[in-house]
Amino acid sequence: ELMYTDPKRYSFLFQSYVQLTMLQLHTYKSAMPYKIMERSVFSARCFIENMKRTKLLKDVELVVLEDWYDWCIQNANIVTDLI
């Protein structure tokens, strides 16, 4: 709710938490050989880009989110199919 009432203030916090929970979902060990997810850690890139274009993020916040995203992609061994 805070994100929608004051997006300039809460976009960074919200997106940081979204990326954390997406990483947790992607790396969760499942007994099944597949997972069905509405969104993935990869969709975070689209939201970060939108926040950048709409100037909801400060430069330093953008750098942190991009670095966090890049780390997730490079280190978490996330594999997707059927995007």
Instruction: Return the closest-CA partner of residue 41 out of 65, 56, 21, 11.
Output: 21
Active site residues: 38
Residue 34 forms part of a structural domain: no
Q: Is residue 83 part of a domain?
A: no
Q: Is the pLDDT of residue 23 over 70?
A: yes
Beta-carbon contacts of residue 13 (< 8 Å; ≥ 6 apart): 2, 3
The structure's pTM equals 0.81
Structural domain for 71, as ranges? 1-27+39-75
On the question of pLDDT at 50 being above 70, the answer is yes
Any residues with CB less than 8 A from the CB of 18 and at least 6 apart, and which?
44, 47
Distance CA 68, CA 41 (A): 11
Query: Total structural domains in the chain?
Result: 1
* Domain presence at residue 67: yes
Instruction: With a cut of 90, say whether residue 16 has pLDDT above it.
Output: yes
Residue 15 lies inside a defined structural domain of this protein: yes
Domain presence at residue 68? yes
**Amino acid 83: pLDDT:** 58
pLDDT confidence tier of residue 9, bands split at 50, 70 and 90: very high
Is the pLDDT reported for residue 79 higher than 90? no
* Measured distance CA(53)–CA(78) in Å, rounded: 27
